[in-house]
A and B are shown apart, each in its own frame.
Chain A
Amino acid sequence: MVKRLIVLIYLLFLLVLPVGLIAWRTFGDGLGAFFEALTSSSALHAFQVTLIVAVWAVVLNTIFGVGAAILLVRHEFPGKRLLNALIDLPMAVSPVVVGLALILVYGRFGPFGGWLEGRGIQIIFSTPGMVLATVFVALPLVVRAVVPVLEELGDEQEQAATTLGASRWQTFLRITLPGIRWALAYGVVLCLARSLGEYGAVAVVSGRLVDQTQTLTLFVEERFQNFDQPAAFAAATALALIAVLTLLLTKFLRPKG
């Protein structure tokens, strides 16, 4: 009883009241004000940039994630444990360090960045750099969602399909993919949420150019620092609603057991 009370009070003051308060402040002036703040041209542009970056990052990490999961579960090769460990590495890296690392390689004075700039391709302070940063921070999510289900599934059906003359691609589309579809959806949702919400890494590589490379999270910070609280709160609430939606979706999709 006492324990329950301590836990509930702790969660109330750390989690529920702060998040509740921001929703209350945002909707306190009515839904009209909320939508007005979110439909300014800067806000709409930030939405657009966020979506472009997130979709690219999710597509890339999904392809990599499924491929890497199949590789780790179905194939034998030397260095497998190392690859497995390296995939988790992004989790241990500060978002700011991610940004710095990408600047050092893909920035104007970096080896790849200088070469690409000579060919008219700009990575840092532009969309490709933001996609790279987002891919980095969200990299393990799809792999980690798919691997356990792939392990549990076993490869008997895949072998049967191969024996019956199915090509590798057919086996993947008809057997493997349907088997992992819920786990894959779970991983994609996690990856999308992480991509939409990334702040630190994108803050470093984007150059934070208003109306150019500003994502929704950068918009929240910039509006707040410029004393435009309604816009900052409205965008923050929109991001929080996405987070709650993610939470409910993942609860529904999470592999049971």
Chain B
Amino acid sequence: MTATAVRGRARTRFPTGTALGLGSAVLYLSLIVLIPLAFVAWKSLEEGPGGFWASVTTPDAWAALTLTIGASILVALINLVMGTLIAWVLVRDRFPGKGVVDTLIDLPFALPTIVAGLVLLALYGPDSPLGVNLAYTRAGVVLALLFVTLPFVVRTVQPVLIELDQDMEQAAASLGASNLQTFRRIILPNLMPAMLSGMALAFTRSIAEFGSTVLISGNLPFKTQVAAVNIFSQIEGDNLSGAAAISTLLLIVALVALIAVDLLQRWGRHRG
């Protein structure tokens, strides 16, 4: 830390190429990302902290926020278990068609969110061939979020599991440890940082999700309307400062989760 600071001060002038490139990159990033996001934060505080608080605690906004955060926590936990299990099967199990399953895991990332919503509505909507109708329910919202967040935990746990040395497990087993003991004492501690960071990524994606929930939630305020959809209807209703306040709150929650990921990864690296 100090070394870089000293080096930075010693070379206050860097090559023109660097300066030009850095200038253009920062300009591009500022015009498209940073200035617009700063305007959201600024707009949300237009009427002071009291106005901000009033905007996020209107009954419909508050209902949307609590639903979003509650559903996202549930989705993150299901992903923690199912994602780890899927990664386990993909790494340790052998069966025909495993390569296809492995490729399919990334499909939710490649599929446009509105298509994901439509696809789920086709199977779990009013015309469901299975007779399961989750349209306009909170279960439908959770289902849509599970679909779009599927790859996160799988793809963070999988590489760690591939690298994991099986010698330790064999040693534990030969010393008389049961399968459960080996899992709890040897495997789980090694996988935990990756599992948690995958879970945090799934959580941040869930609280931000819009497209996949639009069709299946039916956008019913107080019942199935998630935060992003609430922001959307506020924008349509020309209440930009209300929309900005909820947006800012979502951004803060996402940043806290991302910082948590970063800390977890560092913690994992120190232990590894």
Contacts and interface: CB of A to CB of B under 8 A. Distances in A.
Interface stretch (B25-33, B166-174, B185-193, B263-271): B25-33
Contacts of B232: 96, 200, 203-204
Nearest to B248: A97
Interface stretch (A29-37, A85-93, A152-160, A173-181): A85-93
A250 B208 CA distance: 25
A14 B36 CA distance: 36
A25 to B, nearest CB: 6
Chain B interface, DSSP helix/strand/loop, else mixed? helix
A239 B111 contact: yes
A203 to B, nearest CB: 7
B43 interface: yes
Contacts of A90: 33
Interface in A55-113: 64, 67-68, 70-71, 75-78, 83, 86-87, 89-90, 92-106, 110
A139 interface: yes
Given A18-B120, A22-B122, A96 B231 contact: yes
Interface string A210-251: 000000010011001000000011001001100110111011
Contact of A8 (B101, B229, B240): B101
Interface in A38-68: 64, 67-68
Contacts of A204: 232, 235
A186 interface: no
A201 B28 CA distance: 18
Contact of B21 (A18, A70, A221, A243): A70
B115 A217 contact: yes
A22 B244 CA distance: 36
B159 to A, nearest CB: 11
Interface in B248-269: 250-251, 254-255, 258
Interface residues of B, number: 77
B215 interface: yes
A125 interface: no
Nearest to A102: B36
B112 A100 contact: no
B60 interface: no
Chain A interface size band reads: 35 or more
A11 B87 CA distance: 12
Interface string B109-144: 011111100111011100001000000000000010
A239 B105 CA distance: 17
B256 to A, nearest CB: 10
A224 B118 contact: yes
A92 B103 contact: no
A60 to B, nearest CB: 8
A220 B24 contact: no
A92 B204 contact: yes
Contacts of B177: none
A15 interface: yes
Contact of A15 (B34, B37, B107, B208): B107
A21 interface: yes
A187 interface: no
B228 A217 contact: no
Nearest to A132: B32
A99 B228 CA distance: 11
9 contacts: A83-B22, A89-B33, A93-B254, A97-B247, A104-B240, A139-B33, A199-B112, A200-B113, A203-B232
Shortest Cβ-Cβ A-B pairs, 5 listed? A197-B112, A101-B36, A94-B208, A200-B210, A243-B110
Interface of B: 7-8, 11, 14-15, 17-18, 21-22, 24-26, 28-29, 32-37, 39-40, 43, 82, 85-86, 88-89, 93, 95, 101, 103-108, 110-115, 118-120, 122-124, 129, 143, 146-147, 150, 204, 207-211, 214-215, 227-229, 231-232, 235, 240, 243-244, 247, 250-251, 254-255, 258
Given A100-B244, A101-B40, A199-B114, 11 more contacts: A11-B104, A18-B124, A83-B25, A96-B228, A96-B229, A103-B240, A200-B232, A220-B118, A239-B111, A239-B115, A246-B110
